Amino acid sequence: MLQRDYTTSQLDVLEAEAIHIMREVAAEFERPCLLFSGGKDSIVMLRVAEKAFWPAPIPFPLMHVDTGHNFTEVIEFRDRRVAELGARLVVASVQASIDAGRVAEQTGRRASRNRLQTTTLLDAIEEQEFDAVFGGARRDEEKARAKERVFSFRDEFGQWDPKNQRPELWNLYNTKISRGEHIRVFPLSNWTELDVWHYIRREGIEIPSIYFAHSRRVFERDGMLLADAEVVQRGDDEPAFDAVVRYRTVGDMTCTGAVASTATTVEQIIDEIAATRITERGATRADDRASEAAMEDRKKEGYF
Amino acid sequence: MDILRFATAGSVDDGKSTLIGRLLFDSKAIFEDQLEAVERTSRDRGTEYTDLSLLTDGLRAEREQGITIDVAYRYFATPKRKFIIADTPGHIQYTRNMVTGASTADLAIILIDARKGVLEQSRRHAFLTTLLRVPHLVLAVNKMDLVDYSEARFEEIREEFTSFASKLNASDLTFIPISALHGDNVVSRSENMPWYEGSSLLHHLENVHIASDRNLVDVRFPVQYVIRPHNATNQELHDYRGYAGQVAGGVLKPGDEVLHLPSGLTTTITAIDTFDGPVQEAFAPMSVTLRLGDDIDISRGDMICRPNNQPQAAQEIDAMVCWMADGLKLQPRSKLIIKHTTRTARALVRDLHYRLDVNTLHRDESVTALGLNEIGRVSLRTTQPLFVDDYARNRLTGGFILIDEATNGTVGAGMIVDAR
């Protein structure tokens, strides 16, 4: 018999694991959904979902929590991708939560709808009776996430209790919940930022244009470059200027910073990330800078 | 480039965090903003050195109390491999966390302080990693700088540990003298220990052969999900029926004769499908979809294997169980949910034979219950047959979890040693 080396490449191992996780959810839950923001992680997650159930369509809807402060390029991309797949998209609107008096808009220069998203998300999960919600979070993003399970239990208030997590062994996931509770599922837990980019390159996946270097009117705040847009409140002491930038993460315009970059292809982005010495959230997310435990605190409340 | 998953066991005192910090730092997996945050916190606390454990101890409670509570997963890569570290706390009250981290590990690093030698906790860590069948074990004898890089001291520890490990069935055992603080033998060979002729730790991690650790002999395909597109317009898809799952053992090929359990019927693999096209062979850990020649009633929880190589279809199972619940105890007559591969059933604890002292390996046959972090041999009866192998033969078809029906919590992990 021919001797053969059954080595599997890292992207194949990660993809096989993510597919296994998605099928497990589809088999064991009544009403799953997949959070799709048009950001690179959720784009990769969507591609894995396409693969997991092929040649059948993806057996669950997509959901986007729309702050109303998103980049137009990303919303256009989202709608095009949804149409291509013939998928059902649920849009949960932060504006609607504000109008309904569920949350109050923050005021002042640093006003952001980032934190308000949690209420909108939890209301939508309850309304739609979702029992499993796929998220694109990765453990390498942030240290509170480094300790989160792949199947992360949420109580009836949507809360995460980091000190009381279910042990997770082998590839066996505990999917048992009671009514009103749900599980957040993170199929990309073991992927790094570079894995995501290598996968995008390998698969030839399309991504929104704002990930590539482009010219944009920006201003500087706390060492970050924020877009000079209507929804972002720029002070008189924060002059706007034109710069060639790209986004490393895609979130709400009010708290997502751009980085100076000339990378116009996925290859150039990979080279840039391989050489960088700052994490993606450290470089571009004002929401994580509030304190050492900012992410942990938001996650406990039910954030993504 | 492939992936090596490894677990580290030890406490801050053994220099575990320093070692991980060094591996991450030298492979550029720690970023400036992370390092700055750690330096700032170390300064605020009045620590003289940069406390790298702050990088891995991510939860507020851990930072406040200066302890590691849970398994933290860390990632780094070299041009040769991607590495996933399951960083587990070493104290006995965290046995369940170590068991969790070891369950998926290809390799475990046990840290020993060269001054203190083989301690009770080193023996416990070695026992747990062999119980979980981690295929490769590295004994990193740390703080060699504090024993003058003494070869004699290293040999003494090696001998003591080897004689203990012979009782454990430890498979592949490697000893490396290191100083995590100064970097000796971590990334590159140390000039301080010319007597040591082996590889540096990182070189070992990059080169240890793991592809053959998977079971490539016994074909095991737990059916996870049945794909039926129900497409009315496309005739080909209308009749499509595929059995999706992740290969748990062996190599499957189109044309192979296979047997379905529980029916016992044989059929042929007509195609192995993936989104990217059909493949000519499938093996662990690939996630694929099988199409079969005959119309057999197959659903989730069933098993595809070879006619002349079948798992045991068993309702009576003996296993080593690590109990993971706070409060609730495992005892004879306990009723639990058991999840094994893709099959979920109910299980009744028929007997608790003994509790194993994880420090001394002494068997206490007088026990009547297992509490948190305790390990013992139990007999279970299940409501449906499970298609099992001994855990020693296949970790994926030999392992199971136990779930409490009242709280839905995961309360135990089992490794099958016998089945009928």
Nearest to B287 among A10, A20, A147 (CB): A20
A145: which 2 tokens? 């996430």
User: Could you tell me which residues are beta bridge partners of residue A247?
Assistant: A258
Contact indicator for B113, B15 with CB cutoff of 8 Å = yes
Closest C-alpha to B192, from B149, B128, B251: B149
Count of CB pairs separated by less than 8 Å, A with B: 189
Using the beta-carbon criterion (under 8 Å), do B55 and A143 form an inter-chain contact?
A: yes
Q: What is the pLDDT of residues B78-102, one digit of tens each?
A: 889 999 999 887 777 778 888 999 9
Domain with CATH 3.40.50.300 in chain B: 3-213
Confidence of residue B318 (pLDDT cuts 50, 70, 90): very high
Residue of chain B nearest A175, judged by CA positions? B408
Using the beta-carbon criterion (under 8 Å), do A10 and B230 form an inter-chain contact?
A: no
Mean pLDDT of B167-180: 89
Q: In this predicted structure, which of A62-71, B70-79, B104-113 has the lowest mean pLDDT?
A: B70-79
Nearest to B31 among A12, A172, A282 (CB): A282
Closest C-alpha to A115, from A94, A140, A146: A94
B25: which 2 tokens? 């730092």
Nearest to A146 among B58, B224, B225 (CB): B58
| Higher pLDDT, residue A286 or B297 | B297
**How many degrees, rounded to 5, is the angle at CA B391 between CA B385 and CA B397?**
50
Looking at every residue in chain B, the average pLDDT score rounds to 90
Which pLDDT score, from 0 to 100, does residue A223 have? Answer: 81
Residue B279, SS3? Answer: coil
Pairing of strands B72-77, B282-283: unpaired
B231: which 2 tokens? 């497409």
Residue A49, SS3? Answer: helix
Rounded to two decimals, the pTM is 0.93
Mean pLDDT of B186-194: 93
Q: Residue B18: how many CA atoms within 13 Å on its side-chain side? A: 20
Across B123-158, b (16+ Cβ under 10 Å) vs e yields: bbbbbbbbbbbbbbbbbbbbbbbebebeeebbebbb
Domain with CATH 2.40.30.10 in chain B: 220-305, 312-419
How far from B304 is each of B157, B210, B224, B231, B245, CA to CA, in Å?
Answer: 47, 25, 11, 26, 10
Nearest to A13 among B3, B244, B324 (CB): B3
Which pLDDT score, from 0 to 100, does residue A164 have? Answer: 83
Mean pLDDT of B37-49: 71
How far from A147 is each of A139, A175, B70, CA to CA, in Å?
Answer: 7, 19, 7
Which pLDDT score, from 0 to 100, does residue A1 have? Answer: 43
Chain A segment 163-202 residues within 8 A of B by beta carbon are: 163, 165-172, 174, 176-178, 189-190, 192, 194-195
Q: A-chain residues within 8 Å CB-CB of B214?
A: 6
Q: Which of B43, B227, B338 to mutate to test the interface with A (most CBs of A within 10 A)?
A: B227
Mean pLDDT of B402-408: 96
How far from B290 is each of A3, A32, B231, B280, B305, CA to CA, in Å?
Answer: 24, 24, 19, 11, 12
Fold of B312-419: Elongation Factor Tu (Ef-tu); domain 3 (2.40.30)
| Main-chain phi, psi angles of B309, to 5 degrees | -150, 90
Using the beta-carbon criterion (under 8 Å), do B31 and A277 form an inter-chain contact?
A: yes
A279 touches chain B (CB under 8 A): yes
Using the beta-carbon criterion (under 8 Å), do A20 and B246 form an inter-chain contact?
A: yes
Residue B68 has pLDDT above 70, yes or no: no
Chain B segment 61-90 residues within 8 A of A by beta carbon are: 61, 63, 69-75, 77, 81-82, 84
The mean pLDDT values, 10 residues at a time, for chain A of 304 residues are: 71 97 98 95 97 96 92 93 94 88 83 84 94 94 84 93 89 96 97 94 95 93 86 87 91 85 93 77 62 69 74
**Distance (Å, whole) CA A235 – CA A9:** 50
Confidence of residue B174 (pLDDT cuts 50, 70, 90): very high
Does domain B220-305 bear CATH number 2.40.30.10?
A: yes
Number of C-beta neighbours around residue A11 at 10 A: 19
Residue of chain B nearest A189, judged by CA positions? B73
**Distance (Å, whole) CA B87 – CA B75:** 11
Contact indicator for B256, B266 with CB cutoff of 8 Å = no
**Distance (Å, whole) CA A18 – CA A196:** 12
From B2's Cα to the closest Cα of chain A, the distance in A is 5
**Distance (Å, whole) CA B418 – CA B414:** 12
Q: DSSP for A166-228?
A: PP-BTTB------TT-EEEE-TTTT--HHHHHHHHHHHT----GGGS-EEEEEEEETTEEEE-
Q: Token match 């100076």: residue? A: A260
Using the beta-carbon criterion (under 8 Å), do A10 and B337 form an inter-chain contact?
A: no
Q: What percent of chain B has pLDDT over 90?
A: 67
Using the beta-carbon criterion (under 8 Å), do B401 and A277 form an inter-chain contact?
A: no
Q: A-chain residues within 8 Å CB-CB of B273?
A: 54-55
Q: DSSP for B291-325?
A: EESS-----TT-EEEBTTB--EEEEEEEEEEEE--
From B396's Cα to the closest Cα of chain A, the distance in A is 7
Mean pLDDT of B145-165: 95
A301: which 2 tokens? 């409340």
Q: Which residues does A86 contact at the CB level (< 8 Å), separation at least 6? A: A57
From A96's Cα to the closest Cα of chain B, the distance in A is 33
Which pLDDT score, from 0 to 100, does residue B70 have? Answer: 76
CATH architecture under which domain B3-213 falls: 3-Layer(aba) Sandwich (3.40)
